[in-house]
Amino acid sequence: MPIHAARTSFDGNARAPLDERFEQLIEERFDRLMRTNPVWATLLGIHEYDHELGDANRDAIEQEIADERRFVSAVESLDASGLSDAIRFEREVALHSARRTLFDLDVQRVWERRGTAMDQIGDGLFALFARDFAPLPERLDAMASRLEQAPRIMEENRARVDGSPVRLWQELELQAAQDLPSLIDEILAAGRTAQAEGSKQARLEAAADGTREALARYGDWLRESLARGNDEFPIGREHYDELVALRAFDGLTADEILEVGEQQLAANKEARRQVALEIDPNESVDEVLDRIKSEHPTTFEDALDEYRGAMFRARQHILDRDLATLPPGETLSVMPTPEYMRNVIPFAAYFEPPRFDEHPSGIYIVTPSVDGSDRAMREHSYASISNTSIHEAYPGHHLQLSAAITHPSLVRLTLDAPEFIEGWGMYSEQMMREQGFDDAPKYRLYMYTDAIWRAARIILDVRLHRREIGVAEAIDFLARETGFERPNATAEVHRYTYTPTYQLSYLLGKVLLLRLREDEQRRLGGRFSLKSFHDALLYAGNLPISFHRRVLAGEGGGAGGVTKGSPPLDDEAAGDRGSTLGSAS
């Protein structure tokens, strides 16, 4: 589909002289991002580049940095007085987005200290394999092309990561390289079933063989790099403070965010203690939690069925209580986390619906085990399944992101706003309990347990990246405060090392959303509606919460909390459509 069909402008807003120039800059940037990041394009449902993996060499990334700098300069040069109110707001959002990208690429520069070939290759294959946007033979043809390019991507990573890489990150890449063949085997099996022409299967097999050979060489290089690696993953206090300011956390500083984490850790531990007393006043919190974690499905296949059932029940509760408008035709599938992802996704994750696909569907992935431990099913207790499904599916990520893609803004489509996205998931956990969904003590105890986990994330995010704590100490802290099985705690902390300010976004985002809700209740008084509040946030697209606050006040095309991306009116009909659940927080 032509990308320019999805204009940045919002129907019904008055136009101003420079609006068209701004939209041209946005569309040019969007087209460039899709062309140079073809895996991202596939994930968004743009299939023009499905046969490509893009470039992973240093020159390509330096070019992206230069292109983003030119974009920022061009947008900054637009006189805001020549823009309409809605586009003036979009201009601020666009600058926020590009400056964040520049920080990641040009300040943090993970790309020159860590091999990321497995993300590029694995995600590029998974995006084609897991979604049925086209007949399987067509998608297999694209997968063959990407497999043929995989050896080049690995070589470009080797050349790009010079000097002294971060040892821990290289270990994660090595583990992913060892796990990627399992996805390749699944692709080959699907090819044998689906492809009528032997020549196509022969091409796929040859491409897979070439990738496996390249993986062996890449693995040897990764092992060699460990000897000259270092442990210097933190970005340091100065850069961390700079990043926090760029994230626009309603004006909070890193020290204030750390204080929020410590307060939330204490508050949620006390709340959990009180709930544990409700369950059994004669047992300790750990004993009660151990009992609840022991209540789980027998097999992982049974657990997946429980995840599906919890999702359906939560979805129906939203409709029964009239808590939010569901987008027409939204669908969601659940599947096991691919093996190459399990060491950085120890529990669950969600892939948003591709906006440009004809029938966009979300994917909810659940990790069976990080290391094959026979205790792994304890992380899939019935109480945990309920809380995780609220967070990942309804009314969490799936509802929020399915609604967000209905907004016409290309800027918001590509914006990184985890404190809203992840914060909404956590806010949903509490809101649903407030509204009577699975509000028995064991479910509330698990909600507080998960909140303790997210409070620990705030503390570790700040302290790890300001060099106040090391990895081993962080793992001990997380396992002690949450009761996680140690392999899961280890995988969690390893992910924190290369995603500064992302992990704190969960609980901090929830705190900011609750503050925003309280502010709106005071502002609107008797006119406040929980459903209207939810819909205003959901259908305004992905924005930092500080920007959502402005939209609710009427900026950016908003009108007292209702934006031009407001939900469809036929929500009753939408509620009748149900979700299509397949066989993946």
536-572 pLDDT, tens per residue? 999 999 999 999 999 999 987 653 433 334 443 332 2
β-strands 361-366, 348-351 pairing: antiparallel
Greatest pairwise CA separation for the chain in angstroms: 71
pLDDT for res 482:
86
pLDDT for res 342:
77
β-sheet bridge partners, residue 332: 362
What tokens does 383 get? Answer: 């109480």
574 three-state secondary structure: helix
Residue ranges of the chain with per-residue pLDDT less than 50: 1-8, 559-585
Q: How far apart are CA 552 and CA 547, in angstroms?
A: 9
Q: CA torsion 179→184→186→187, rounded to 10°?
A: 160
Which residues lie below 8 Å from residue 28, measured CB to CB, with a gap of 6+? none
User: Per the confidence metrics, is the pTM higher than 0.95?
Assistant: no
β-strands 361-366, 331-336 pairing: parallel
pLDDT for res 138:
94
pLDDT for res 162:
75
Distance of CA 579 to the CA centre of its chain: 21
What tokens does 200 get? Answer: 């196509």
Asked whether the beta carbons of 303 and 584 are under 8 A apart, the reply is: no
β-strands 348-351, 331-336 pairing: unpaired
Q: What kind and span of H or E run contains 335?
A: strand 331-336
pLDDT for res 370:
67
What tokens does 582 get? Answer: 């397949």
Nearest Cα to Cα of residue 351 among 54, 123, 34, 98: 123
